[in-house]
Amino acid sequence: MKIKWMVLAVSLFAISGASAEFDFGKLLEERINQELNKDKKTQPAPAPATPQNAAATPPQEKPKIDARQLGFALFGDYSLEEENRIGKQIAGDLLGAVQLVRDDKLQNYVNLVGNWVALQSGRTDITWRFGVLDTEDINAFAAPGGYIFVTKGLYRRLNNEAELAGVLGHEIAHVSQKHHLKVLKQSSLIGELGKAVSSKAKDSDQAVQNLIGNGAEIMARGLDKNAEFEADRIGIVYAARAGYDPWGLPGVLQDMAALPAKDSRTSLLYKTHPHPADRLAALGEAVNGRLDAVSGKDLAKRFYRIR
Amino acid sequence: MKNFLIPATALMLCVSAASAWAAPGTALRNDRLYSQPSATSKVTGSVVKGASVNILAKKGGWLRVTSGRSTGWVRLLSVRAGAGGAGGVGVGDVVGAATTRSDPSRVVAVAGLRGLNEEDLKKARFNPDELARLHALSVSPAQARNFAGQSGLAAVKVPALPEPQPAQSSSPWETN
């Protein structure tokens, strides 16, 4: 059985490609260890069990991966309902770490801009929700199901609506491309986590929590850097499609590139994202002259200034 | 810096943009310098990857820079602000403090301020009240369209950008 797990682990790392650069690898390793330990604990001792024990422990179910679950991990997709439940749990956890800024005009403004940009993403099956988090940290977050957050620290640095649209476009792209769900899907191969999310059991919120880890730590693990580069490429296009000056997101990245590396407000951002200089370079390769003919609005006058 | 801005505002913005961007930068790739912020204007010089430049102004997707003895406009994405070199965090970031824009309105007290960290996120407990607050703030697509229309924003057809050439190992993001 142990060998079976080892084979599974090895094949999973093979699937994940260059595992060394993935935070996902770490997540997976922890999950596998958890499962292996659980296995050890529940393994019936070789000594003859008492009748009570035998009754309490039903014939040991092998932690097998059934074909359905393997198929899901390789080719399947979370249903819309599952996506919403996962997103809701992550968003609620994140809001347990940091509250929303108590400024309804600000929150309404960000929801209006965000929904307009999200309309360009083609995902109309979810309700997009945007929130400004009350922290001076410079960062933004996305969770499945259309939950998008930007910190007050980042918002303060923005100069116009096009820059806000660019930042939100990047986060919207993480949702439209289902980047977090792809990571979770792979970890769901381990143990019962995959099945648990789709179950209607009354403790299924706990099951969702088990899938995403402790609290909102999934937001601290980050995604593969290629997912970040992809979100930059797609986000800049969403903002342009919404009629904004496409140079909003690059402008924000330039601003962050000029910040001192040791600034504590960007430590989490840099833990989970490539350095802005690398993002600018990757975006430059993709854009080249392709947006030369695009002219949009920056709407500096309408931009809501934070108090 | 669009033509709908009245000239005085435009001038003011240019001045402030120029002062804000009078900062060191580094070329991220080999590229040309143009006499105007347009790829159809005259080429006035070039920059090579890793070269230090001085950023003088920003306009749309262009930066006006000096590099050696040449001055001209270069694509915004071909240069990074800050002297950290072309490859992300470098020794230059040690002097980053000196290159950070010094607009007083942006100064935020950093001392004693602890940002969000991994521990905070790990320990976070689901907050149903804040989530309800967030849900109550959401707006409808119709409201968003109306809001966009108020400022003359309209949907534009812009093709997707190409994925990078598969130079590195294949990634699950690309195969999914």
- Full-model pTM: 0.76
**pLDDT recorded at residue A70:** 63
**pLDDT recorded at residue A53:** 45
Cβ contact (<8 Å) for A100 and B134? yes
**pLDDT recorded at residue B56:** 95
Does one domain contain both A60 and A89? no
Cβ contact (<8 Å) for A94 and B121? yes
- Establish if B176 touches chain A: CB-CB under 8 angstroms: yes
Q: How confident is the model at residue B106 (pLDDT cuts 50, 70, 90)?
A: very low
Range of the domain at B39: 7-105
Alpha carbon separation from B36 to A8, A96, A175, B7, B85 (Å, rounded)? 58, 50, 38, 19, 26
Q: Is the pLDDT of residue A21 over 70?
A: no
Does A204 map to a domain? no
Query: Which of A105, A116, A121 has the alpha carbon at shortest distance from A297?
Result: A116
What is the least distance, in Å, from the CA of A29 to any CA of chain B? 17
Does one domain contain both A97 and A235? yes
**pLDDT recorded at residue A67:** 64
Question: Rounded to an integer, what distance in angstroms lies between the CA atom of residue B43 and that of residue B31?
Answer: 10
**pLDDT recorded at residue A212:** 81
The total of structural domains in chain A comes to 2
- Taking residue B41's Cβ as centre, other Cβ atoms within 10 Å add up to 12
What is the least distance, in Å, from the CA of A237 to any CA of chain B? 6
Which of B131, B143, B175 has the most A C-beta neighbours within 10 Å, making it the best mutation to test the interface with A? B131
Q: How many pairs of residues across A and B have Cβ atoms under 8 Å apart?
A: 290
**pLDDT recorded at residue B83:** 75
**pLDDT recorded at residue B95:** 34
**pLDDT recorded at residue A5:** 53
- Establish if B91 touches chain A: CB-CB under 8 angstroms: no
Cβ contact (<8 Å) for A96 and B126? yes
Q: Is A46 exposed, middle or buried (0-12, 13-18, 19+ CB in 10 A)?
A: exposed
Of residues A151, A227, A283, nearest to B77 (C-beta): A283
Q: How confident is the model at residue B74 (pLDDT cuts 50, 70, 90)?
A: very high
Interface of B with A in 3-22 (CB under 8 A): none
Cβ contact (<8 Å) for A131 and B134? yes
Cβ contact (<8 Å) for B139 and A108? yes
Range of the domain at A54: 2-64
Average pLDDT over residues B83-100: 47
**pLDDT recorded at residue A74:** 63
Cβ contact (<8 Å) for B137 and A111? yes
Q: In the predicted model, what is the mean pLDDT of chain A?
A: 80
**pLDDT recorded at residue A169:** 98
Q: What is the ipTM, given to two decimal places?
A: 0.75
Does A270 map to a domain? yes
Does A90 map to a domain? yes
Q: Is the pLDDT of residue A176 over 90?
A: yes
Q: How confident is the model at residue A69 (pLDDT cuts 50, 70, 90)?
A: low
What is the least distance, in Å, from the CA of A58 to any CA of chain B? 34
**pLDDT recorded at residue B126:** 94
Does B129 map to a domain? no
| Residues of A whose CB is below 8 A from B38 | 292
What is the least distance, in Å, from the CA of B9 to any CA of chain A? 11
Average pLDDT over residues A69-96: 85
Q: How confident is the model at residue B114 (pLDDT cuts 50, 70, 90)?
A: low
> What digits encode the pLDDT tens for the residues A293-304?
998 999 999 999
Minimum mean pLDDT range among A136-150, A271-285, B11-25: B11-25
**pLDDT recorded at residue A26:** 52
Which of A103, A259, A304 has the most B C-beta neighbours within 10 Å, making it the best mutation to test the interface with B? A259
Does B171 map to a domain? no
Query: Which of B115, B1, B112, B99 has the alpha carbon at shortest distance from B53?
Result: B99
Q: Is the pLDDT of residue A57 over 50?
A: no
Does B166 map to a domain? no
| Residues of B whose CB is below 8 A from A283 | 77
Does one domain contain both A164 and A60? no
**pLDDT recorded at residue A73:** 61
Does one domain contain both A159 and A280? yes
Cβ contact (<8 Å) for B61 and A291? yes
Of residues A217, A289, A297, nearest to B151 (C-beta): A297
Of residues B88, B89, B139, nearest to A112 (C-beta): B139
Question: Rounded to an integer, what distance in angstroms lies between the CA atom of residue A39 and that of residue A35?
Answer: 6
Q: How confident is the model at residue A45 (pLDDT cuts 50, 70, 90)?
A: very low
Does one domain contain both A39 and A88? no
> What digits encode the pLDDT tens for the residues B42-56?
999 999 999 999 999
- Establish if B142 touches chain A: CB-CB under 8 angstroms: no
**pLDDT recorded at residue A107:** 98
Does B154 map to a domain? no
| Residues of A whose CB is below 8 A from B27 | none
Of residues B94, B99, B163, nearest to A258 (C-beta): B99
Of residues B99, B116, B124, nearest to A93 (C-beta): B124
Does B36 map to a domain? yes
Does A299 map to a domain? no
Q: Is A280 exposed, middle or buried (0-12, 13-18, 19+ CB in 10 A)?
A: buried
To which residue do tokens 């195969």 refer? Answer: B175
The total of structural domains in chain B comes to 1
Q: CB-hemisphere CA count at 13 Å for A296?
A: 32
Does one domain contain both A127 and A245? yes
Cβ contact (<8 Å) for B156 and A265? no
Does one domain contain both A114 and A141? yes
HEC profile of chain A: CHHHHHHHHHHHHHHCCCHHHCHHHHHHHHHHHHHHHHHHHHCCCCCCCCHHHHHHCCCCCCCCCCHHHHHHHHHCCCCHHHHHHHHHHHHHHHHHHCCECCCHHHHHHHHHHHHHHHHHHCCCCCCCEEEEECCCCCCEEEECCCEEEEEHHHHHHCCCHHHHHHHHHHHHHHHHCCHHHHHHHHHCCCCCHHHHHHCCCCCHHHHHHHHHCCCCCHHHHCCCHHHHHHHHHHHHHHHHHCCECCCHHHHHHHHHHCCCCCCHHHHHHHHHCCCHHHHHHHHHHHHCCCCCCCCCECCCCCCCCCC
Does B121 map to a domain? no
Q: How confident is the model at residue A253 (pLDDT cuts 50, 70, 90)?
A: very high
User: What residue of B is the nearest CA neighbor of A264?
Assistant: B115
Does one domain contain both A10 and A116? no
Which of A254, A279, A301 has the most B C-beta neighbours within 10 Å, making it the best mutation to test the interface with B? A254
Does B55 map to a domain? yes
Cβ contact (<8 Å) for A241 and B155? yes
Does one domain contain both A53 and A141? no
> What digits encode the pLDDT tens for the residues A137-161?
999 999 999 999 999 999 999 999 9
Q: In the predicted model, what is the mean pLDDT of chain B?
A: 77
What is the least distance, in Å, from the CA of A192 to any CA of chain B? 22
Minimum mean pLDDT range among A176-180, A222-226, A263-267, B21-25: B21-25
Does B80 map to a domain? yes
Cβ contact (<8 Å) for B134 and A108? no
What does the block give as tokens for B160?
């997707």
Q: How confident is the model at residue A262 (pLDDT cuts 50, 70, 90)?
A: confident
Does one domain contain both A53 and A89? no
Average pLDDT over residues B150-171: 83
> What digits encode the pLDDT tens for the residues A221-248?
888 899 999 999 999 999 999 999 999 9
Q: Is the pLDDT of residue A42 over 90?
A: no
Question: Rounded to an integer, what distance in angstroms lies between the CA atom of residue A190 and that of residue B146?
Answer: 46
Give CA A88 to chain center in angstroms: 12
Does one domain contain both A151 and A34? no
| CATH number of the domain where residue B68 is located | 2.30.30.40
Does one domain contain both A101 and A158? yes
Q: By percentage, how much of chain A surpasses pLDDT 70?
A: 70
Does A257 map to a domain? yes
**pLDDT recorded at residue A234:** 98
Does A261 map to a domain? yes
